[in-house]
A and B are shown apart, each in its own frame.
Chain A
Amino acid sequence: MTIKTLSQHGVQRQQMPCLTKMERMIISMQDPDMGIKLRNQRLLITVIPHAMTGADIFEWLIKKFSISDEEALHIGQIFVKYGYIYPLKEPRNLILKVDNSPYRFQTPYYWMSTRWPASELDYAIYLAKKNIRKQGELIEYEKECYNALHKRINHTWDFVVMQAREQLRASKQRRKADRIVLECQEQAYWLVNRPPPGTLDNIDHGPERRTTNTRVQLNADFYKKEIEHNRISLARNRVKSSICLESYVKYCEQYQPHDPIMQGCLPSNPWITDDIMFWNMNCETVSVPTKLRVERWSFSFMELLSDPVGRKEFLTYLEKEFSAENLCFWQACEDVRHGETSKIPGKVDEVYKQFLAPGASRWVNIDSKTMEKTLEGFKRPHRFVLDDAQMHIYFLMKKDSYPRYLKSDLYKNLLARAVVPQETKKSVLPFIHRQRHSSPSPALATQAAEDDGKTKNSNSFKSNSGTASRL
């Protein structure tokens, strides 16, 4: 019909998977047995064959995919928006109406995957046809496009007009019904590919991916590295699926009571009731933690350590056991690992003096092999130099002190004293909002501290706020 557009780099990469899927669905919608029943539709005085109603589409989608009304409407809308189905009445309004409104399937010739990007030349010819056919038929934005194109591809304008006339002549020789159908198809195509200003542009996809400049060099080195990686992966130890999957079941079960979206939270979810009591009762430092929170410390050692209140409690316990230096050492190592690079040598030095040197005031018990390796690393201290020692102490606490802490009176008493908040009911009157109170910005807290002359990263290893500095 017109000059063929290249579909080499046709549709942008990101679109292809969804277009393929849509087209598969469209084809099944047209299946003679299982598809939508098509019939003739009357458009004014002409009878258009192979048409269906909006309601037909809607019902077929619900039945085929066992989905809700809302979802079926949503999917139907997508097909119309992307031009796979077009309306016969009110053709400029690309929406799906769930009633008797007539619709037709777009011919594959005009599918998004076949003819994209739409060519300027084709658009010029289309607008020229409209202009010739009926003076004043072009809408405002089409007039603007037409004039702009006229300027831009002026050199081929004779060809444009000639093609337009030729196509109009050819179409006059068709049956009226065919002519109307072809016009509708073409119109639908251009509504999708040159949307009027103000409507959603389906073609907009954001910055291009896989641009040819700065692409990864798929050279010999790349493949050699990949081969090496695959070899190592082959030799890897794996765990049976049944064991791994069981652990998810356990984890989800254990944490479900703690999942506010699933089971709500007490006193109430602040986002729902506008009451921030939940956040106040669970803030970083609170004198009486909630029961759920204290329970969570028993789920894993990491849970205990990552909660500032839990860590503080654990430290108190360790002090009673005269093994507090282990936790302090662990914290000091965290500080090295996550702190400023420039401070690493100084910090490592401090750690050595306080925890590792013979006769150190807070000496930690590390096995000789690890100690040797660590001391060797001290010659050129780097961020991860304390990792082995830290892990050794971490697992020591995890296997020994942690289980005993959970059995201790200290923990049990805290658990008994822990608070179970009263449920706050949501306001009965839906439009009355509780006043939504602001909270001090974390940035403000730091600013105040800096003004007071305190430093953000405290050097004291007794700090219980961890590496995320909180004041």
Chain B
Amino acid sequence: MASQEESSQPSDTLTTLKTESETLKTKLEEERAKLHDVELHQVAEKIEALGQFVIKNRRTLKGHGNKVLCMDWCKDKRRIVSSSQDGKVIVWDAFTTNKEHAVTMPCTWVMACAYAPSGCAVACGGLDNKCSVYPLSLDKNENLAAKKKSVAMHTNYLSACCFTNSDMQILTSSGDGTCALWDVESGQMLQSFHGHAADVLCLDLAPSETGNTFVSGGCDKKACVWDMRTGQCIQSFETHESDINSVRYYPSGDAFASGSDDATCRLYDLRADREVAIYSKESIIFGASSVDFSFSGRLLFGGYNDYTINVWDVLKGTRMSILFGHENRVSTLRVSPDGTAFCSGSWDNTLRIWA
């Protein structure tokens, strides 16, 4: 361990530390490469190619007056919550396309929203640096904003939020470079996660048996896996060439996919501890803003900033199809809880359901 002299220039020490960290990173990549004995597409050679299947736009939800930034599904598989640039948060029954609730946040650019597991509340936040929880009331006269509960407080914009397995805890990520776990009831921070070197843009909760980890991605091109109990970063991956806009676990919990401004999506395996696939095409120029897996994990849907949605064969690494329809960049994309459809939200003010 290099000893730091108290008398040496602070900048020298910083440079030394930085160099040491970089050296270790290089060593780490070498170690990771040692057990990499086969590529994913090689393993996938023996699998049959997927036949053509049809995905069409089945519903278009119009009602937002401005860019749609985020959306989330309710556990009932048909309701969704969406948030937009003008501060509006809307709860829809996507099946009937009816709007059921609407809240106007006191800030613009509501970049994060989430549906509570019970279906009785939604959480949202954005440029207000906070995450607030709104219980959903069916009393048409009741002003939802009145029952609002401020839960999380960051020092920069809120980029993503999600409930853990219950309505009682929320996980948030922020432009201030940190993630945090909050107790909804008291508004207390239960744990904070430091390690990113710049804005954290996205997060996803692991579907594992022990359910104690989550992954985050940020502007430092890093994806980090965290232990929710200790606040420690368990693993980190730094192979993207630009901001990571979206991270999503593979259904088994053994891997996660990421979408980035470098126009690629990548798959990282947690047990092999390395990147195992890159989903890219020369003709795809713009960044992927949002990714999610189909129910079986065989397909990866990516919403891109060039207004399209690309469907990838996760195992073979090929692009299965490209979906057109949105008239501005796709900002958010989630597959429904039972995998019957996926929803995309866009800067063209609409949300679309595809199946």
Contact = CB atoms under 8 A, between A and B. Distances in A.
Give the dominant DSSP class at B's interface. loop
Contact of B294 (A261, A383, A446): A261
Contact of B285 (A13, A75, A227, A243): A75
Contacts of B285: 18, 21-22, 25, 75, 78
Interface string A229-261: 111011010111111111111011111101111
Given A17-B262, A255-B297, A261-B341, 18 more contacts: A13-B243, A17-B242, A223-B17, A229-B195, A229-B233, A234-B27, A241-B36, A251-B251, A259-B294, A259-B295, A259-B296, A271-B58, A271-B355, A279-B338, A341-B188, A439-B78, A447-B137, A468-B117
Among A216, A222, A226, A276: residue with most chain B CB under 10 A: A216
Max chain B C-beta neighbours (<10 A), residue from A65, A218, A223 = A223
A222 B262 CA distance: 26
Nearest to B38: A242
A197 interface: no
B276 A245 contact: yes
B286 A18 contact: yes
B127 interface: yes
Interface string B59-94: 100000001000000111111000000000000010
Nearest to A390: B210
A338 to B, nearest CB: 4
Contacts of A444: 138
Could you say which of B138, B190, B254, B298 has the most chain A C-beta atoms within 10 Å of its C-beta? B298
A210 B250 CA distance: 29
A231 B199 contact: no
A287 interface: no
A252 B43 contact: no
A113 to B, nearest CB: 13
Instruction: Give the one of A210, A244, A261 with max B CB within 10 A.
Output: A261
B49 interface: no
B109 A261 contact: no
A446 B76 CA distance: 14
Interface string A459-471: 0000000011110
Contacts of B201: 209
B203 to A, nearest CB: 16
A380 interface: no
A224 interface: yes
Interface centre among A16, A22, A71, A387 (most CB of B within 10 A): A71
Interface string B270-292: 01111010000111011100000
Given A252-B315, A261-B355, A342-B185, A65 B283 contact: yes
Nearest to B185: A340
B48 to A, nearest CB: 10
5 contacts: A18-B305, A225-B195, A242-B43, A337-B165, A446-B118
Given A74-B306, A210-B198, A241-B269, A224 B95 contact: no
Contact of A207 (B77, B157, B198, B254): B157
A276 B78 CA distance: 10
Nearest to B241: A17
B350 to A, nearest CB: 15
A391 interface: yes
Nearest 5 A/B pairs, CB to CB: A442-B119, A255-B296, A338-B166, A216-B177, A230-B24
A394 interface: yes
Given A249-B43, A251-B251, A214 B38 contact: no
A238 B155 contact: no
A230 B156 CA distance: 27
Contacts of A446: 118-120
B151 interface: no
B298 to A, nearest CB: 4
Contacts of B197: 216, 218, 222
Interface string A17-29: 1100110010000
Question: Which range holds the interface residue count of chain A?
Answer: 35 or more
Contact of B35 (A220, A222, A238): A238
B93 to A, nearest CB: 6
A8 interface: no
Contacts of A4: none
Interface in B303-325: 305-306, 308, 314-315, 322, 324
A233 B137 CA distance: 47
B35 A239 contact: yes
A254 B297 CA distance: 10
B249 to A, nearest CB: 12
B118 A456 contact: yes
A95 B195 CA distance: 45
A272 B355 contact: yes
Contact of B98 (A262, A383, A438, A443): A438
Nearest to B270: A244
A276 to B, nearest CB: 7
Contacts of B44: 249
B106 interface: no
Nearest to A217: B177
B306 to A, nearest CB: 6
Q: Which of A236, A383, A443 has the most CB of B within 10 A?
A: A443
A65 B283 CA distance: 6
A248 B255 contact: yes
Nearest to B157: A207
B38 A245 contact: yes
A252 B195 contact: no
Interface string B15-49: 00110110011011001100111111001100100
Interface in B104-120: 109, 111, 117-120
